């Protein structure tokens, strides 16, 4: 399948563009994220910890919040916001 994926934060430097067209196999949001990392390996540390997608990664499907098991139809548009690291407190 093929979908447009818009990324934010440090993912943009990993993909080289704000929006990329991604070919992927599977059915779910988790499958799209896995394909994003396969295509852009530099994105992995922002999306995964110990081979699991970080709970703080946020994904929208056609503008609506989606969880990892949400089915993604062909041609859907997704937005991926990576985990945000907190700063030090003084």
Q: Can you give the CATH number for the domain in which 77 is found?
A: 3.10.20.30
Residue span of the structural domain in which 34 resides? 2-81
Ranges of residues in the chain whose predicted pLDDT is under 70: 85-90
Considering the entire predicted model, what is its pTM?
Answer: 0.90
What is the number of domains present in the chain?
1
Q: Considering the domain boundaries, does residue 33 fall inside one?
A: yes
Residue 88 within a domain: no
Tell me the torsion sign for CA atoms 15, 34, 87, 64: positive
- The per-residue pLDDT for 86 is 53
The confidence score (pLDDT) of residue 88 equals 47
**pLDDT of 26-43, one tens digit each?**
999 999 999 999 999 999
Does residue 87 sit within a domain? no
Measured at the alpha carbon of residue 83, what is the angle toward residues 77 and 80, in degrees to the nearest 5? 5
């Amino acid at each position: 399948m093929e979908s447009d994926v818009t990324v934010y934060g440090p993912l943009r430097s990993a993909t080289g563009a704000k929006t990329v067209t991604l070919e992927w196999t599977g059915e779910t949001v988790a499958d799209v994220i896995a394909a994003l990392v396969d295509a852009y390996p530099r994105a992995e540390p922002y999306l995964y910890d110990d081979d699991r997608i970080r709970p703080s990664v946020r994904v929208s499907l056609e503008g609506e919040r989606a969880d990892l098991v949400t089915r993604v139809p062909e041609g859907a548009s997704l937005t991926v916001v990576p985990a945000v690291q907190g700063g030090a407190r003084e």
